């Protein structure tokens, strides 16, 4: 595995080594020892999967303390634009977002630490996204930030006329009004 740090502290890209032969391919999608060697403490306890069609935007979701979640995001089928927004008040990158295309061909993954909101847009006809979480889902601690907030100004990499969003995500508070305690 190749682990690459981004400009946002704690946010890393993981590129697994893929082995191809006449049968197809094989790769390790997760190896706790490889992460530990890089000083990354990530112990998943829950796996999630979503499938969406082109134009869907999901997010920006997070859980408050004492139930925050770190996530390791990967695409099983298709292509997405994955976004992590830094909500850590003492961070030099507080309020900044990072985006990366993840797809099923490259197998690239994004490890998002606790203290971030997460969302993605679907760039292919369909996309199946899996993510490992280091804490279980707690509906009482779930929060969100409006994905169309102009203060954050995320370019979701899809035509604004083709956005598909649910009411909850569209009605989440703006960044300046959101509740977070990181």
Render pLDDT for 113-153 as a digit per residue (tens, 0 to 9).
999 999 999 999 999 999 999 999 999 999 999 999 999 99
Cα(156)–Cα(113) distance, integer angstroms: 21
Annotated active-site residue in 62, 118, 131, 137: 131
Annotated active-site residue in 20, 25, 61, 137: 61
Cα(100)–Cα(91) distance, integer angstroms: 20
In this predicted structure, what is the pLDDT of residue 107? 97
Please confirm, yes or no, whether 131 is among the known catalytic residues. Answer: yes
Please confirm, yes or no, whether 20 is among the known catalytic residues. Answer: no
For residue 91, give the DSSP letter.
Answer: S
Q: Identify the CA nearest to 122 among candidates 77, 84, 72.
A: 77
Res 98 pLDDT > 90: yes
Give the domains, in start order, of the chain with CATH numbers. 43-177 (2.60.120.10)
What are 49-69's pLDDT values in tens digits?
Answer: 999 999 999 999 999 999 999
Q: Model pTM?
A: 0.94
Which helix H or strand E contains 48, and what residues bound it?
strand 46-53
Res 156 pLDDT > 90: yes
Cα(71)–Cα(150) distance, integer angstroms: 25
In this predicted structure, what is the pLDDT of residue 144? 98
């Amino acid at each position: 595995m190749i682990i690459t740090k981004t400009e946002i502290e704690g946010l890393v890209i993981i590129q697994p080594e893929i082995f191809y032969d006449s049968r197809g391919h094989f790769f390790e999608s997760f190896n706790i020892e490889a992460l530990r060697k890089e000083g990354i403490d990530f112990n998943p306890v829950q796996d999630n999967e979503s499938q969406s069609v082109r134009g869907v935007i999901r997010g920006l979701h997070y859980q408050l303390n004492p139930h925050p979640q770190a996530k390791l995001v990967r695409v099983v089928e298709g292509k997405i634009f994955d976004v992590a927004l830094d909500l850590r008040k003492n961070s030099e990158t507080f309020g900044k977002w990072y985006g990366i295309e993840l797809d099923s061909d490259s197998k690239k993954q994004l490890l998002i630490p606790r203290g971030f909101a997460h969302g993605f847009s679907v760039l292919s006809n369909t996309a199946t996204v899996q993510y490992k979480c280091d804490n279980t889902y707690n509906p009482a601690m779930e929060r969100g930030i409006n994905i169309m907030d102009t203060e954050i100004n995320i370019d979701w990499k899809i035509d604004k006329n083709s956005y598909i969003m649910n009411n909850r995500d569209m009605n989440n508070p703006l960044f300046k009004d959101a509740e977070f305690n990181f």
